[in-house]
Amino acid sequence: MLDFNVIQKDLYSRARLGTLKTSHGSFNTPVFMPVGTQATVKTMTPEEVYNTGGRIILGNTYHLYLRPGHDLIQDAGGLHNFMNWHGPILTDSGGFQVFSLGPLRTITEDGVTFRSHLDGSEHFFSPEKAMEIQMSLGSDIAMAFDECSPYPCSWEEASDAVKRTTRWAARCKECHNRQDQSVFGIIQGGVYNELREKSINDLLDINFPGYGIGGLSVGEPKDLMYSVLEYTTPRLPADRPRYLMGVGSPDCIFEAVSRGVDMFDCVLPTRMARNGSVFTSEGKLVIRNARYARDFKPLDENCNCYACTNYSRAYIRHLIKANEILGIRLTTIHNLHFMARLMHNIRQAIREGTFLKFKENFLERFFYKT
């Protein structure tokens, strides 16, 4: 089941406020999804993810298939039970990961043969296999198995990828049979508007309850991504959620929301945290820097997360310098809280008709010091 409702549209941009109801609960959009690659949002318990404001998380089909295996997770009662997260889960199709394996994979019309990055063993993903795995995992939203064009990419290559993505999307829809799980199609087309339009029309013919926008944030300049979005989102049906895959820096989120995107995921906040960097209302802060050694202020004086309420920059810097795990737990909590609060404030600004003003103020302050 999936029930999407647009509650309010911004008058001065394409930004929109919505609610999305899944088999494991509802959340408001625009939303940021923390990434839980290996059946855990790195360093965090599910309760901690929820307490930062996370309401839907992402799981990675490729990783879970290889380890511990989707059959094991099915035997555990599905991914929700296995990892003790009882809210909504979206799984990717594994397509992006296996395409990223480069020389380790071969693509045919049937699917993709690839070697495991863990032990070199050979495996095969097809649209049917990607659906089988995601049905075993039991995510609330499954993604169709697509062919993601790289950047740069010729018109011909991007065109072939769009056509194959359409054929594979039809096969995904055909074999999918789990009622409590919805499948999103994925729009490809690289940076070519005509191909984006064709991909949209093809997938609308198949008819999905939501659409991913793929093949962006893969190396192209940000302005080019924004212009592709500018062209793409108005052509997607207004009553279906739109998910910009793999995007999650605050500036990109603002630009995409203002063009009508509803859902985001990105490893950036959690990966940055493990490298000892945090988002603050005044930009990025690298906590390892010597200047914070005796700084007893919180990471962000405008933040009320667990880390900022209880610990100083000096303490968190000490933990990270000493390789103590609590250090990256605290930076992860802070960054996920930052993202959830950012999305909350974006939704509130849309509700109050002040989205563009909020965007301008936030970005000016955020980029002033960086």
Residues that are catalytic: 92, 265
Q: CB-wise, 309 or 370, nearer to its own copies?
A: 309
Our finding on whether 289 is near its own copies (CB under 8 A) is: no
Q: CB-wise, 176 or 313, nearer to its own copies?
A: 313
Our finding on whether 315 is near its own copies (CB under 8 A) is: yes
Contact status, residue 59 vs residue 46, Cβ threshold 8 Å? no
Residues 64-103 that bind its own copies (CB under 8 A): 67-68, 72, 75-76, 82-84
The single residue among 275, 293, 352, 353 that binds its own copies, judged by CB under 8 A, is 293
Contact status, residue 27 vs residue 61, Cβ threshold 8 Å? no
Our finding on whether 312 is near its own copies (CB under 8 A) is: yes
Taking the CA atoms of residue 225, residue 41, residue 95 and residue 179 in that order, the dihedral angle to the nearest 10 degrees is -110
Tokens of 195: 């191909």
Our finding on whether 297 is near its own copies (CB under 8 A) is: no
Our finding on whether 294 is near its own copies (CB under 8 A) is: yes
We find the least distance from the C-beta atom of residue 130 to its own copies, in angstroms, to be 21
* Side chain identity at residue 19, one-letter code: T
> Stretches 101-109, 156-164, 308-316, 350-358: which one binds its own copies (CB under 8 A)?
308-316
Q: CB-wise, 15 or 57, nearer to its own copies?
A: 57
We find the least distance from the C-beta atom of residue 26 to its own copies, in angstroms, to be 23
We find the least distance from the C-beta atom of residue 25 to its own copies, in angstroms, to be 18
Contact status, residue 181 vs residue 134, Cβ threshold 8 Å? yes
Our finding on whether 153 is near its own copies (CB under 8 A) is: no
> Stretches 11-19, 35-43, 144-152, 194-202: which one binds its own copies (CB under 8 A)?
35-43
Contact status, residue 49 vs residue 79, Cβ threshold 8 Å? no
Contact status, residue 270 vs residue 60, Cβ threshold 8 Å? no
Residue with tokens 């999905």: 208
- Residue 77 to residue 59: CA distance in whole angstroms: 16
Residue with tokens 């199609």: 185
Q: CB-wise, 39 or 272, nearer to its own copies?
A: 39
Walk across the sheet containing 25-29 and list its strands: 3-9, 16-22, 25-29
| DSSP-assigned states of every residue in 50-90 | HHHT---EEE-HHHHHHTT-HHHHHHTTSHHHHHT--S-EE
DSSP 102: G
State residue 193 phi and psi, 5-degree precision.
Answer: -60, -40
Our finding on whether 318 is near its own copies (CB under 8 A) is: yes
Contact set with its own copies (CB under 8 A): 38-40, 42-45, 67-68, 72, 75-76, 82-84, 293-294, 296, 310-312, 314-315, 317-319, 321-322, 324-326, 328-329
